[in-house]
Amino acid sequence: MDLVAVAGMKTSGPAGIVTSISVPAAVHAGVKALQAGGSAMDAALTTALTQNALFAGGPFSYAGHFSLSYFDAAAGKVHALDATYAVPAAENDAMSIPPYGTPHGRGVLVPGFMAGVEAAHARFGKLPFFELLQPSIYFAEEGFEISTAMATVMDQRSEVLLRRPEGREIFLAGDGSLLGGGERLAQPELAALLKNVAADGAAYMYTGPWAEKFVEAVRAEGGRITMEDMRSYRPRWHDDLPGAGVASHTLFGWPAYQRKFHLMERAGLDRMGHYAQSGEALYWMMKIYRLDEVLGGFQTNGLDLAEIAGVAPELARVLAGDPYSDEATALLWETMRQPAWGELEALARAKRAEELAKVAESIEKLSKDFRRDVEEDRVTEDEADRPGHTAGVVAIDADGNMAALTHSVTSAVWGELGIFIDGVSVTDPASFLQQAVAAAGPGGRIGASLGFVGMPLAVQDGRVDLGCGSAGISGQLNMFQMHVDRILYGLSGMESIGKPKFHDEWNPLKPVHEPVGGPGHFRREVLLEAQALGLDVVPEEELARAAHGGVVNCAAHEADGIRRGFNFLGTAHANPSTQLGALGLAQAE
């Protein structure tokens, strides 16, 4: 069996497959893990580990965090692992954590990535642990050529990269200039660290020398992390997750995500026609997707029960019990069709506006730090090597097991502190996540407070029919639409990526400027129909003004036994002919 890595939008094969949002070389490492007899878990973890090395810890790091779902084909069960950041025990005033724009050690949280990798491998891996680290060690030791895209981001973040001596050691050339495109980036200290982890396990980073240096550096910057925080960190398994029956599928995922599909069934979304052709279907799909803005959920707080009770007391009463029960879903659907729901949406938007106003300066600084002109924003083959701040990885093995994970620094690329401990970047996610940190509380998990543990998997007839990873402003929304296409409309993955996908705006309070007039875009009349019903959308012909962003990588074990991988690049500036170079996949031949 010969497995190869390719960059593109689709691939298929009967034995095993790995898909990812970026870094074809890392995908190739995952494929080689399958070729060596590894499981889907081995392949996904190897890919993620290698991605960290190949971006020098910018968008994702060995001191980052991740969340995954695993389908155990033999048992027919889905398990989720929460290896997200933990809040330091001494962090008892989260809302006072300095925001982005003010580098501070309190922005640093307890990392989960390496502990999560070890826990996931121990349970579902087949290869020796040290083998998963070999590609990362190779690229750290031998170095790799910096792409022009990565060089651009390095230049944008040069103030951070060169803030401390250890960053200057990594990123400066012999003549004292910042390394640029086409030059080789080697990370010998990182290679040594990874060899220690390969020999001693994740404990080296949680109880050993690395942890001690990490705690010392973070506390020197004003942070509150202690060695006890590091020693006590444990990834959390959520076993045998309950699935929700939706159409002919069983959907595994967080309850708020499942509820949206039950609401779309009640709405009869599929009977309205596909949302790419029906403004009515688009309106209701987006109204249901944005449920979190009112009730709280992924990366948003929503209204509390007292605020809901002031407008819809019966709904508040039912939500106070089991908010995901059939009774709650039925009442929710009834309320969403009444004027009261519009009042709740208005309250939620006003509350969100207040929250965003508090971090307006941070958002503006972040936007300026990463601003690109339209010409540069064109997608090219080099786009496969442009860091975002998140990567998704999905792998299926010959036995039908699937691992789907997302890992990230959940911060700006390389953060603001410029801390590198033995070559591992340390970022400051709490500078963006004060509310999530407050909700989690001292010692709590960010994943739980964000309502995000594991990746959604759609299972049909004992096989995973669709599993995805996502990244970018519209990543979650695009993944949602991929699931809608598969579960409610019965579209294949390739049919789905050929359909327009609605976007999110960076500022959620602004109307979505959805592109029209180009390949893969909505028709103007569909958007105007949805707009007339109340969707805050503006048909946009100027691509420079259009909403964009959001990449999804998916894999499916379909009824014919073939494993298929397909990726969707959700950007208004993308020409479909250039999308082939944007994403990395692997196939079995």
Edge-to-edge strands, sheet with 551-557 = 10-13, 563-569, 551-557, 463-471, 457-460, 249-252, 244-246
d(CA 183, CA 164): 22
Backbone phi, psi, residue 182, to 5°: 90, -15
What's the pLDDT at 545? 82
Residue range 287-296, pLDDT digits in tens = 999 998 898 7
Q: What is the pLDDT of residues 454-471, one digit of tens each?
A: 889 999 999 999 998 876
The chain-wide mean pLDDT, for the chain, equals: 87
- Confidence at residue 82, expressed as pLDDT on a 0 to 100 scale: 95
User: Which token pair is 416?
Assistant: 């603001």
- The encoded tokens of residue 89 equal 């025990």
| pTM of the full structure | 0.90
Q: Give the residue-averaged pLDDT of 382-392.
A: 53
Averaged pLDDT, 558-580: 57
**Between β-strands 537-540 and 512-515, what pairing exists: parallel, antiparallel or unpaired?**
parallel
CA-closest candidate to residue 255, choices 469, 54, 456, 19: 456
Q: How far apart are the C-alpha atoms of 238 and 236, rounded to whole Å?
A: 7
Nearest to 425 by CA among 55, 70, 143, 132: 55
For residue 14, the model assigns a pLDDT of 64
Report, as an integer, the average pLDDT of 426-452.
87
Cα dist. 236→60, 81, 307, 528, 560 in Å? Answer: 20, 6, 33, 46, 35
- At 268-290, the pLDDT tens digits run 999 999 999 999 999 999 999 99
pLDDT band at residue 250 under the 50/70/90 scheme: very high
Q: What is the pLDDT of residue 292?
A: 87
Q: How confident is the model at residue 242 (pLDDT cuts 50, 70, 90)?
A: confident
Under the banding of pLDDT at 50, 70 and 90, the label for residue 473 is: low
pLDDT at 360: 62
Distances (CA, A) of 532 to 48, 366, 477: 44, 34, 22
CB within 8 Å of 560: residues ≥ 6 apart = none
pLDDT, tens digit, for every residue of 189-229?
999 999 999 999 999 999 999 999 999 999 999 999 999 99
What are the tens digits of pLDDT across the range 125-156? Answer: 999 999 999 999 999 999 999 999 899 999 99
